[in-house]
A and B are shown apart, each in its own frame.
Chain A
Amino acid sequence: MFWSLVRKDLLLELRTKEITISMLAFGLATILIYALAFSVSPAMYRSFAPGLFWVIILFASALGLHRMFVLEKEFDAFSLSISAPVDRGIIFLAKWISGTILLIISEIVIIPPFVVFMGLSLPNNWLIMIMIIIIGNLGIMAIGSLVSGLAMRAKMSEILLPILLFPLVSPLLIGSVKATNGWFQGIPFMNWQFWVLLMITFVVVFALLGYTIFDHITEE
């Protein structure tokens, strides 16, 4: 059942391309604006690149999440899933995982121009950064899927989503920026492992919370 729901979300995106295009358009436009509008030294870019990267990812995720749940509202399609004999926690988990997959796909396109336009030279141990990105994405999408489920029935869901999402995601985002900065500056992992643990805690807490309460928040 879980994979049928994930498959449906990915198939919908394959047909519409609305989620990835909105995330990519925002991400690439922001990178270009920052790269062209500010004439700062490479050292300066290096100091604010981790923060800038995660802010771009957060805003792009908010756009993608909104589109993801708008697709469920059209034709009242969401009633098909929630009236079916499927645990709504599973529906949340499927939304969370498919959202994370789409975010990772967008990042694969966003990261190379980010590195090039910001003139960044990256450390070699890439696996750690991939791990940080995946945990950060899982966290943003866990909180985002929960908040989107809550906001989707509201009349002004596009406004309600960022209002609820940004404060909730702040500690996770701070952790992501600190961990990325630690990797970027070549600081030993021991010195910034706290932030990775904080991120993992957020992922686990919001995944469990979403699984538990998605049933109640999606009812009319």
Chain B
Amino acid sequence: MLSVANISKSFYHNPVLKNLSFRVDDGDVIALTGKNGVGKSTLLRILARISHPDGGTVIYNGVDIFKGQASARSGILYLGHEPGLYPSLSAIENIEFACRIHGNYPIEENIITALKNIGLSKQIKDPIKIYSKGMLQRLKYALANLLPWSMLFFDEPFSGLDIEGRNLALGYLNAWKANDRAMIFVTHDVEWGLSFCNRLLLLEAGSFKIDQNADSIDVKTIMSGLQ
């Protein structure tokens, strides 16, 4: 489904990613972890074609995303560390626009229902610049729930969420996992990563120090790698 080969990226002549290669198949749920500044978010942005690698290829459903047409990336949804939405638009307007550019045209009722389901029934017509970090994070879940993606790249899925928000988010994540959808999460929550995901990638010094099935990894091994 997604085949990454020899991806490398440097910033100001400092190599961050060095010839990374891996494969993601239908139903794969991957936790991508590592220390701060190791290049996790950069890798996710390359996979979403926001950032361009210095070398290597990313093949999605048989098409190189850097050479093929934009429509070849249909089915990929990127939810970054930042809100990735327009602060001056309302939650409804943001979700509607995001759905439209992903080729979906949801009716307003469905958007309102999706927002209510994630606990955002108030202030849905106010600009989202007044939202807290947790509310913005919930907005991402509402968006992801409205789109028929088959490959999700999610940077810090629980960032800013309170306990209620985290539980709601877990409900969505479990539902998506049950539907056999592929997901890559950048996370520092290793315990959650090992319990929820079926594979873990530990990025260190530009390469994968660990690329294994989650059930064959000991938490202590990962924690020692992160220290």
Contacts and interface: CB of A to CB of B under 8 A. Distances in A.
B50 A4 contact: no
A12 B86 CA distance: 8
A86 B85 contact: no
B87 A85 contact: no
Contact of A83 (B50, B52, B103, B127): B50
B127 to A, nearest CB: 7
A80 B98 contact: yes
A97 to B, nearest CB: 16
Interface size class of B (residues with CB under 8 A): 20 to 34
A137 B102 CA distance: 30
Interface stretch (A56-64, A68-76, A100-108, A203-211): A68-76
B101 A77 contact: no
B50 A79 contact: yes
Interface stretch (B28-36, B69-77, B156-164): B69-77
Given A11-B89, A220-B45, A76 B84 contact: yes
A155 interface: no
Contacts of A4: 97, 100-101
B51 A1 contact: no
Interface in A1-34: 1, 4-5, 7-8, 11-12, 15-16
B131 to A, nearest CB: 10
Nearest to B9: A220
Given A16-B88, A75-B85, A80-B85, A5 B101 contact: yes
A88 B88 CA distance: 23
Given A76-B83, A79-B80, A87 B70 contact: yes
Given A8-B97, A219-B50, A85 B82 contact: no
Q: Which 4 A-B pairs have the closest CB atoms?
A: A76-B82, A220-B51, A83-B78, A4-B100
25 contacts: A8-B86, A12-B89, A15-B127, A71-B88, A74-B87, A75-B85, A75-B86, A77-B84, A77-B85, A80-B84, A80-B85, A80-B98, A82-B49, A83-B50, A83-B73, A83-B78, A83-B84, A85-B74, A85-B76, A85-B101, A87-B71, A88-B70, A219-B49, A219-B52, A220-B52
